[in-house]
Chain A
């Protein structure tokens, strides 16, 4: 047996947060929304996918944002994305030095910590 790779990651969000999720993950990060299958659509939430990049947002009762645990996304042209995030009102936080990367942190609309990295 061998675990081979990550198929997708799922982040939690509160009920009714789909439009906010769309604005951040699709509108700002540019990851298109993929329709959920009918049997899963009843649960709410939304999926954002482009190729192997798959981030699923699921509704969780009693939601609490992930402040420490996070997803790190590799991006191209981090400075442009940084400007886009700032123009959209997001608060950015620089990451500690990590050899080989520029990186910043941003909270998604629900307070989930997201790391954005670009190799230098």
Chain B
């Protein structure tokens, strides 16, 4: 299960939050040194310096706006497909296509730094997980509780994703589609296991329908009849 949210909704929400340009409950930056400046001059005449870092978006917003689109573009940029006419290889060819892959790898690498910033919430407080209600998916509150309790594990997953994305960047710079495939597999492994930890730990996977393979029984001469049931 890959990361799929309603992009329009989230992007609009993120843009609104950015344009509002105000602190939210997620703000993690330290308060300005008001005491020192108050002693030197009236507070009304010297505006407090803006904090150098301000947390605006949630993990969910970052996934929707940066991580998922970047990873999807990289996964989609190289593939091997078996068709009735043979094997079809897909990879970047033009300089612009390689440059686009590079941009996506850079966004993904740096995006992992945003993920691990102290004070960032899993979901904007008061907002739901966008696919809440899907079987196995934690509610925003359940997810936040787990996120807080296991934050070092989340940081390790983000670090592992950065490593995988860095392998992707190296492969892109070498124009190595096989390396990109390998890096893409590593990225997928990290994403899936992080999601399994923090997003849908209770997922239940239904069995595949029969059309995925012919049912064929091969009886053994000494078969023991199974009891009905």
Residues of A within 8 A of B (CB): 15-16, 18, 22-24, 26-28, 33-39, 41-46, 59, 77-80, 82, 84, 86-97, 102-103, 120
Contacts and interface: CB of A to CB of B under 8 A. Distances in A.
Nearest to B227: A79
Contact of A94 (B204, B208, B219, B227): B219
Contact of A41 (B189, B219, B227): B189
B218 A94 contact: yes
Given A27-B208, A39-B160, A41-B157, A18 B220 contact: no
A38 B220 CA distance: 44
A20 B18 CA distance: 41
A78 B224 CA distance: 12
A46 B189 CA distance: 8
Contacts of A95: 220
Contact of B226 (A24, A41, A79, A91): A79
21 contacts: A15-B181, A23-B205, A26-B205, A33-B205, A38-B156, A38-B159, A38-B160, A41-B193, A42-B164, A44-B189, A45-B189, A59-B185, A79-B226, A86-B215, A86-B217, A89-B211, A91-B214, A91-B217, A94-B219, A94-B222, A102-B226
Contacts of B197: 35
Interface residues of B, number: 45
B228 A79 contact: yes
A77 B228 CA distance: 9
Contacts of A120: 224, 227
A37 B194 CA distance: 9
B207 interface: yes
Contacts of B196: 33-35
Contact of B213 (A26, A43, A44, A91): A91
A19 to B, nearest CB: 9
B193 A87 contact: no
A31 to B, nearest CB: 10
Contact of A38 (B194, B208, B214, B219): B194
Contacts of A84: 207
